[in-house]
Chain A
């Protein structure tokens, strides 16, 4: 079955960077995108970007364009989200999700979420 398993919760200092891992299995990783979505405490869902797992092309939300990097390791069928210059407002649960197409699409399978807490 399709699975997306994310790395564990972390606490980060303001100004630091974070990297969340999304290990996939059970489907053809190369044929679909991986999305990253975040959710601040008590708030709604916010799309951050996607990566075409086949060719590595990316698309980012303009809001995060300067701070976010999404990469993938095809041999490990794993995607990564990096966010730099963290501030308290970046405290959130970060989700990865498989896309329905190589270039985005809707999100059909989701990881369990990773809580990142930014605090001094």
Chain B
């Protein structure tokens, strides 16, 4: 199975900051990558699909980039509502896998 490695595992930041989360695939997945946001006790919410496409209704401060094995999620101008856990997921091939998650904390 394709392994997804996210970094960092924990990220401390302040409101207004620009932050980037990285996701690396163990083999090429082209652009078949999604990013989700999850808050405690809630279902994940789709943010980005096909590496860089913003899901409808998601604020434009979220952006995604990358292809092949290296991907990133950037939040420009952090808002209080953005402090949550973020997961990448590859959906290429036989089995789909998630990264281990990045918890975005208030500094």
Complex CA gap A106/B46 in Å reads 8
- Of B34, B95, B96, most buried by chain A (CB within 10 Å of CB) is B96
Could you tell me which residues of chain B, from 77 to 107, have a CB within 8 Å of some CB in chain A?
Answer: 87, 89, 91, 94-101
Asked whether B98 lies within 8 Å of A108 as measured between CB atoms, the reply is: no
Could you tell me which residues of chain A, from 75 to 115, have a CB within 8 Å of some CB in chain B?
Answer: 95, 97, 100, 104-108, 110-113
Asked whether A105 lies within 8 Å of B91 as measured between CB atoms, the reply is: yes
A37 CB contacts on chain B under 8 angstroms: 44, 98
Complex CA gap A112/B91 in Å reads 22
Asked whether B95 lies within 8 Å of A61 as measured between CB atoms, the reply is: yes
Asked if A46 lies at the interface with its beta carbon under 8 angstroms from chain B, I say: yes
Given the known inter-chain contacts A47-B95, A47-B96, please indicate yes or no for A95 contacting B44, CB distance below 8 A: yes
Asked whether B49 lies within 8 Å of A47 as measured between CB atoms, the reply is: no
Asked if A26 lies at the interface with its beta carbon under 8 angstroms from chain B, I say: no
Q: Which residue of B lies closest to A107 (CB)?
A: B46
Q: How many residues of A contact B (CB 8 A)?
A: 22
Shortest Cβ distance from residue A94 to the other chain B in the assembled complex, whole angstroms: 11
Q: Which residue of A lies closest to B34 (CB)?
A: A106
B99 CB contacts on chain A under 8 angstroms: 44
Asked if A45 lies at the interface with its beta carbon under 8 angstroms from chain B, I say: yes
Complex CA gap A45/B34 in Å reads 13
Complex CA gap A46/B101 in Å reads 11
Asked whether A44 lies within 8 Å of B46 as measured between CB atoms, the reply is: no
Ordered by A's residue number, 18 sampled pairs between the chains whose C-beta atoms are within 8 Å are A35-B96, A37-B98, A44-B98, A45-B87, A47-B96, A47-B97, A59-B94, A61-B95, A62-B95, A97-B43, A97-B44, A100-B49, A106-B34, A106-B89, A107-B44, A108-B55, A110-B43, A112-B43
Complex CA gap A50/B91 in Å reads 11
Asked whether B87 lies within 8 Å of A44 as measured between CB atoms, the reply is: yes
B91 CB contacts on chain A under 8 angstroms: 104-106
Complex CA gap A30/B95 in Å reads 22
Asked whether B94 lies within 8 Å of A95 as measured between CB atoms, the reply is: no
